[in-house]
Amino acid sequence: SGIFTWGIQVHQPRPLVAYQDYSMSLVVFLLISISTGVWGDKIFPFVGDDAWVGNHNTSLNDGTLRLLNIAGIKGLMKTRQLVYLEEALVRRGLESSPGAPDHTYQSLQTGSPYSAFLTRGALSQLEATKYSADDVNFSSDFVASFYDTVLDFTCYSRNITCANSTYRTLDGSCNNLLNPLWGMADTPLERLKPAAYEDGVWAPKLSSTGVPLPSPRVVSLSMSNGIHFPARRVNQLFVGFAHFLGHDLALVPTYKVKGNKILSCCAPAVRVQESHLPHQACLPIAIPEDDPFYERHSITCMNFVRSSLAPKLSCIMGHAEQLNSASHFLDASPIYGLGPAQDTRMYKYGMMKVQSLGYEDFLPLKLVTEEECGDPLKARFCFRSGDNRVNQFVTSTIFYTLFTREHNRVARFLARINPHWDDERLFQESRRIVVAFLQHITYSEFLPAIFGAEESSPLPSFRIPSYTEYDASVNPTISNVFATAAFRFFHSMIPATVHRSNDTGSTIGGTSLHYHINNPDVFYHSRGLDHLIRGSSDNNAESCDVNLVYELRHRLYQKSTLWGLDLMAIDIQRGRDHGLPSYSEYRHLCTGRRPESFTDLRDIPADVLTLLEHLYSSVRDIDPLIGMLAENPAPGSLVGPTLRCVISDQFNRLRLGDRFYYEHSGSQSFTPLQLQEIKKSSVAGLICLNTASIAYIPKRGFLTMGRDNPELPCHKLPRPNLLHWKESLPVPGSHPKRFY
Using CA atoms of 715, 717, 722, 723 in order, give the dihedral in degrees to the nearest 10.
60
- Helix 236-249 to helix 394-417 angle, to the nearest 10 degrees? 70
Torsion of CA 501, 496, 643, 603, to 10 degrees: 110
Strands (E), 480-525: 497-501, 507-512
Q: Is 491 annotated as a binding residue?
A: yes
CB environment 452-476: b (16+ within 10 A), e (fewer): beeeebebeeeeeeeeeebbeebbb
Measured N-to-C along each axis, helices 115-131 and 62-91 cross at an angle, to the nearest 10 degrees, of 130
Cα 651 from Cα 478, distance rounded (Å)? 9
The answer to whether the beta carbons of residues 551 and 362 sit under 8 Å apart is: no
Q: How far is CA 48 from the centre of its chain?
A: 32
Catalytic residue among 11, 243, 247, 514: 247
Instruction: List, in order, residues 6 or more apart from 696 with CB less than 8 Å away.
Output: 711, 712, 713, 714
Closest among 406, 374, 396, 390 to 337, alpha carbons compared: 390
Length of the chain equals 740
Do the strands 301-302 and 2-5 form a parallel or antiparallel pair, or are they unpaired? unpaired
Comparing CA positions, the residue from 328, 326, 325, 322 lying closest to residue 122 is: 322
- C-beta of residue 716 within 8 angstroms of C-beta of residue 729: no
Respond yes or no: is residue 279 known to be catalytic. no
Q: How far apart are CA 79 and CA 121, in angstroms?
A: 9
Q: How far apart are CA 308 and CA 694, in angstroms?
A: 43
Q: Tell me, what amino acid is at 464?
A: I
SS3 95: strand
SS (H, E, C) 180-214: CCCCCCCEECECCCCCCECCCCCCECCCCCCCCCC
Query: Crossing angle of helices 423-441/394-417, nearest 10°?
Result: 130
| Cα 556 to Cα 101: distance, rounded to the nearest angstrom | 7
Q: How far is CA 424 from CA 349, 420, 428, in A?
A: 8, 12, 6
Phi, psi at residue 284, to the nearest 5°?
-65, 150
Report yes or no: 117 and 12 within 8 Å, Cβ to Cβ: yes
Among candidate residues 646, 590, 575, the one with its CA nearest the CA of residue 195: 575
Q: Please state the residue numbers annotated as binding site.
A: 491
Q: Please state the residue numbers annotated as binding site for heme b.
A: 491
Return the active site residues: 247
